[in-house]
Structure 1
């Protein structure tokens, strides 16, 4: 299993995350090509080497062209850009999930809905590039799991489109619910909403670096020099051998008054909120009523968001929470070529040998695009992955 560990020594911002991942092994030319694939204009990219308190680091800067329009966008505008981008399905879905979490946080702090929330700074093209390219970098580096250190937020106040706001900014604080914070005595905004949305969406756990064989180190610099510390974040990329262990939260709600339509919609929203898996179990409730136990498996950092979704999208009056240890097989993605286009295969190594399964979203997209039954696309992908096989 390939792991990326984000060491948020001086906080996190979208440009720092992209810079650190680039420094860990994503070439500049590859990132420029990915940025061009977004299909948006009015910007340029600058990659440079800088020093922060004597520490060498990569710097990633999105430079907006003078006079180029920078409209404030709603969520559907951002999703439209991502849907049209030349990104694979996994990268696109990851980026859209980040922006949906941003929208949910902004909607909550401003008392509106995600459809009506008006992105300001986080809807600008630099934020879209930060999120899309960070998602792209993780895919390029073949990262299977993201772990993050406790996150410092800084203190004081900042000036934004809404006026003077406390640090952490309200949306940042909302995104960091349930996440361990670290105390850094700096009068500045150390973690931005974009940085918080990326890390809380991508990371499975927060804490110390996990056991792994370290292969690459990336150091990304922020734009400012801080008075008493290096304004950098690091990403450590390596391989975890054998069966990995981690911690998950299981949320359960018993329901006897929810329609199948409500349950199906709730399951979709729970996955968008960060659920690793959502499933239902038929149960017999009090007074002989048939019911359903709706269960959500999620990372600890997503538990608060998933609980809120359960309360908002179902008629439940209570949610049970259990923290559990689990062991998971190392896994990676391999791309195979079929006559329907490239399909990613999720490959796992275990005591029983190697097993692989086609990524559903890739197969679904190929089936719709070509008008082919889904089962044929799946069979072609499996045949292409098999030794000596071909998806033709």
Structure 2
């Protein structure tokens, strides 16, 4: 499986990701041919070699005509929808734009469709997003991994005045993504860079084992006290890397003196607090009392919160805890269109190149109720659409 690992030495932005891919072997002519499929005129990209603290890297500048201060989301999406890009690239680009739009809507307390975007209002941002996604496809990359993202400090000037770094949009987008603090007084991770890496990456962490075939350095605009670079490693994943692995905390306790209503409440509280999974297994305990075994799987950093909830929300006097290694299928999400509406589908990558498709239950349930059709009909339509978009575009196995 061809794997790309983005090592975000000094963070990430759209132009840095593009520069890294070009430096690693993406052909400029091929990239230009893909970008020409956008219904945009008067643009150009300038690709040049620069030095960053004695490192030679590729710098990409996207040149466009003067841009509006902000644009409504539907207008930005129209540019992508009316392009002649492949369906896979279109869908992924729209998902990245929606990630940014959803966070802006949350910050400003409005509906996503009403958002006027500042960060990706210009055609240069659209080119960054589409170019990066198309570049991944052109290089034949099957899976993307990424390092934890460093976040700088300070202030920048935004549409509404001074904004503290990391910006609220970037922070919101990176929920669920590993981050580290940096003493650098600069914007190291932009909303565009954050949204691209969150969407593209199936795993954040250390460099995975691979047979290294290429490495590329993409340069940022500013000169910093550290090399302002984002680096990409590209190679064939090792044979044992058909699964993603991470560490989870497993907490367990026995309960024999609480009601079913209390069990439901405890499960709900644990999931709201970030538990990855909560199960209750019927059992018989001492004195032949019926009870349940409460089992919670969580991220290691959430272990203290899970422990506290179990001890305060149940009658238990103790919790059994251990850290375990978990293997999961590499996966990503795509948004597809069906005759019932749009739905998100999880795509899991099986060993050997096959895939499994799992439509998102809540969205399918809502669509089924609106259309007055069986839930299964929506599931089948969403899975078929995902298979067509994902496997048809990439030529993967069914």
For residues 291-329 of structure 1, the C-alpha deviation after alignment (integer angstroms, 9 at most, x for no partner) is xxxxxxxxx8xxxxxxxxxxxxxxxxxxxxx99823549
1:18 alignment counterpart: 18
Q: How many residues align?
A: 286
Q: In structure 2, what is the Cα distance between the partners aligned to 1:166 and 1:24?
A: 34
1:336-355 equivalent positions in 2, closer than 5 A = none
Q: In structure 1, what is the Cα distance between the partners aligned to 2:355 and 2:243?
A: 22
Structure 2 residue 227 is the aligned partner of structure 1 residue 230: yes
1:95 pairs with one of 93, 107, 132: 93
1:190-205 equivalent positions in 2, closer than 5 A = 190-205=188-203
Asked whether the equivalents of residues 329 and 350 of structure 2 are also in contact (C-alpha less than 8 Å), the reply is: no
1:188 alignment counterpart: 186
TM-score (norm. length: structure 2): 0.64
Q: In structure 2, what is the Cα distance between the partners aligned to 1:84 and 1:183?
A: 40
* Residues 84 and 181 of structure 1, relative CA distance in 2, 3 Å threshold: same
1:241 alignment counterpart: 238
Give structure 1 regions of 4+ aligned residues with deviation exceeding 4 angstroms.
327-330, 346-350, 354-360
Q: CA RMSD in A?
A: 3.8
1:325 alignment counterpart: 326
1:339 alignment counterpart: none
User: What SS does the corresponding residue of 2:169 show, helix, strand or coil?
Assistant: helix
For residues 70-95 of structure 1, the C-alpha deviation after alignment (integer angstroms, 9 at most, x for no partner) is 36222211221111112111111111
User: What SS does the corresponding residue of 2:58 show, helix, strand or coil?
Assistant: strand
Asked whether the equivalents of residues 42 and 69 of structure 1 are also in contact (C-alpha less than 8 Å), the reply is: no
* Residues 246 and 63 of structure 1, relative CA distance in 2, 3 Å threshold: same
Deviation at 1:349, TM superposition (A): 8.3
2:31 alignment counterpart: 31
User: What SS does the corresponding residue of 1:165 show, helix, strand or coil?
Assistant: strand
Q: In structure 2, what is the Cα distance between the partners aligned to 1:172 and 1:327?
A: 27
Deviation at 1:357, TM superposition (A): 7.5
Deviation at 1:41, TM superposition (A): 1.7
Q: In structure 2, what is the Cα distance between the partners aligned to 1:49 and 1:323?
A: 45
* Residues 112 and 347 of structure 1, relative CA distance in 2, 3 Å threshold: closer
* Residues 194 and 348 of structure 1, relative CA distance in 2, 3 Å threshold: closer
Q: In structure 2, what is the Cα distance between the partners aligned to 1:349 and 1:324?
A: 19
* Residues 69 and 206 of structure 1, relative CA distance in 2, 3 Å threshold: closer
Asked whether the equivalents of residues 152 and 181 of structure 1 are also in contact (C-alpha less than 8 Å), the reply is: yes
Q: In structure 2, what is the Cα distance between the partners aligned to 1:47 and 1:70?
A: 25
* Residues 13 and 176 of structure 1, relative CA distance in 2, 3 Å threshold: same
User: What SS does the corresponding residue of 1:58 show, helix, strand or coil?
Assistant: strand
Asked whether the equivalents of residues 247 and 323 of structure 1 are also in contact (C-alpha less than 8 Å), the reply is: no
